[in-house]
């Protein structure tokens, strides 16, 4: 899942980005509203975590500008009055979280926001004997729990969401890694090696030459 984090407090920005990445998100970070608009114009984010009290271009103006796009907006603020919450939601934000916040709550809210457009879809992904729960972040194959790293989990989730269609390495880099990922890196290939090993036999992750990868029933 691709997330844009907009926060001018550099210490909070770094700590939150690190926590979100450790939770399996691909995170881009910016420290001002102008940069947030530039990022949102060229990248399709699933969720934008937006500090309301930005210097320069205020977070309210950023929210108004991107609220018509596909990304869900979670607004952060130091103010907890009812009027502030109502005003933030009235600008087009989908959720509102007061600082200081716990990372676990932020992660849960991002997952909840990302689910909203697809509520009609089954929350559990299943292909053959492989079962992935994106909310509990657990994977089972033939009843056996599979321990995956955040990147391995993100790759498998993308493949299972698109199954039986193949997914390109470029799309995996965009959705599972972040903007700093080298397009010529072998990170996807290396992750596929470890993912296949952990999932065991018979293999369910296939390489489609010159196209990408797909998950098919083993």
Ordered domains of the chain (ranges, CATH): 2-118 (3.40.50.2300), 125-215 (1.10.10.10)
C-alpha–C-alpha distance, residues 208 and 213, integer Å: 6
The order of strands in the sheet holding 26-30 is: 26-30, 2-6, 47-51, 72-77, 95-98
CB 135 within 8 A of CB 123: yes
Q: State CA 215 to chain mean position distance.
A: 20
C-alpha–C-alpha distance, residues 15 and 5, integer Å: 11
Q: Is the whole model's pTM more than 0.75, yes or no?
A: no
Bond from prior residue into 31 cis (ω within 30 degrees of 0): no
- pLDDT given for residue 121 in this prediction: 44
- pLDDT given for residue 145 in this prediction: 94
User: Residue 46 in 3-state DSSP?
Assistant: coil
- pLDDT given for residue 177 in this prediction: 84
Quickly tell me which residue has 């879809």 as its tokens.
121
- pLDDT given for residue 118 in this prediction: 47
In tens, the pLDDT along 124-156 reads 899 999 999 887 789 999 989 999 998 999 999
Tell me which residue of 113, 74, 64 sits closest to 96, measured CA to CA: 74
In tens, the pLDDT along 21-51 reads 999 899 999 999 999 999 998 888 999 999 9
Phi, psi of 90 (to 5 degrees): -70, -20
Quickly tell me which residue has 């939601």 as its tokens.
89
Q: Which residues of the chain have pLDDT under 70?
A: 80-88, 116-123, 181, 183-184, 218
Tell me which residue of 185, 192, 196 sits closest to 218, measured CA to CA: 196
């Amino acid at each position: 899942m691709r997330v844009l984090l907009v926060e001018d407090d550099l210490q909070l920005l770094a700590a939150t980005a690190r926590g979100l990445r450790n939770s399996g998100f691909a995170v881009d970070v910016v420290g001002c509203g102008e940069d947030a608009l530039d990022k949102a114009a060229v990248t399709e984010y699933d969720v934008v975590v937006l500090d309301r009290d930005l210097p320069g271009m205020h977070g309210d103006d950023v929210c108004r500008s991107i609220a018509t796009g596909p990304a869900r907006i979670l607004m952060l603020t130091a103010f907890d009055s009812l009027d502030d919450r109502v005003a933030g939601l009235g600008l087009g934000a989908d959720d509102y979280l007061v600082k200081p916040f716990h990372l676990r709550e932020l992660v849960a809210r991002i997952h909840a926001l990302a689910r909203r457009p697809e509520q009609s879809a089954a929350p559990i992904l299943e292909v053959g004997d492989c079962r992935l729960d994106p909310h509990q972040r657990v994977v089972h194959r033939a009843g056996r729990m599979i321990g995956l790293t955040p990147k391995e989990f993100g790759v498998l989730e993308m493949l299972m969401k698109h199954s039986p269609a193949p997914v390109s390495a470029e799309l995996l880099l965009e959705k599972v890694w972040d903007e700093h990922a080298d397009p010529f890196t072998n990170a996807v290939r290396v992750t596929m090696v470890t993912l296949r090993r952990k999932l065991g036999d018979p293999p369910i992750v296939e390489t489609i030459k010159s196209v990408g990868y797909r998950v098919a029933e083993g």
